[in-house]
Amino acid sequence: IKYSGDDTYKAINIIKTIGVAKDKIRVDIYTLKALTTNTTVKLVITDSVKSPVNSGFISVVDSKGNVVSSGRVVNGIYMINMTPPAGAQKFTIKYSGDDTYKAVNIIKTIYVVKDKSTVKNLATTSQLNNLNSNITIEVSVKDI
């Protein structure tokens, strides 16, 4: 603060450091798909006035300590794509924070189900009944 003074008061120059607290963020978690072959989770990261956060780093760690996803927040969004095993899977979502926003860790459990599979029918019963010998049927199972 600098005051140059006048006829009544002397000039003064004061240097003062002011601490500014980092803003808190909010992370909304949306499980879009929870299949063993494709689990997709969307994170929406906003600040205290609900504006999208455009900085910071996200890492997602499974219950064994493995990083399953990591990257930068873009326009308040971070997408997670992974292939976890079936059942209740616990993940820690870590936002690193920066000069503006506080760091945060969130634990989230996602219930993952096995994906459906299909079997292609290679022969009909009537076709098999017309054969007079043993047959071998080869079946291939593919994800939908």
The model's confidence at residue 29, banded by pLDDT at 50, 70 and 90, is very high
* pLDDT of 28 over the 60 cut: yes
Sheet containing 104-112, strands listed edge to edge, beginning at the edge strand earlier in sequence: 67-72, 57-62, 87-95, 104-112
pLDDT digit string, tens, across residues 30-74: 999 888 888 999 999 999 999 999 999 999 999 999 999 999 999
Lowest mean pLDDT among 27-41, 93-107, 120-134: 120-134
pTM (2 d.p.): 0.69
b/e 15-39 (16+ beta carbons within 10 angstroms → b)? eeeeeeeeeebebeeeeeebbbeeb
Tokens representing 63 are 């219950």
What dihedral do alpha carbons 111, 32, 103, 66 form, nearest 10°? 50
Most confident of 14-23, 71-80, 133-142: 71-80
**pLDDT at residue 139, as a whole number:** 64
Q: What value does the mean pLDDT of the chain take?
A: 86
Name the superfamily (CATH) of residues 26-115.
Macroglobulin (MG2) domain (2.60.40.1930)
- pLDDT surpasses 90 at 91: yes
pLDDT bucket at 107, cuts 50 / 70 / 90 = very high
* pLDDT number for residue 89: 93
Residue type, 129: N
Report how far residue 4's alpha carbon sits from residue 75's, in angstroms, rounded to the nearest whole number.
Answer: 45
Please tell me the predicted confidence (pLDDT) of residue 35.
86
Q: Would you list the domain boundaries of the chain?
A: 26-115
- pLDDT, greater one: 130 or 27: 27
Higher local confidence (pLDDT), 135 or 24: 24
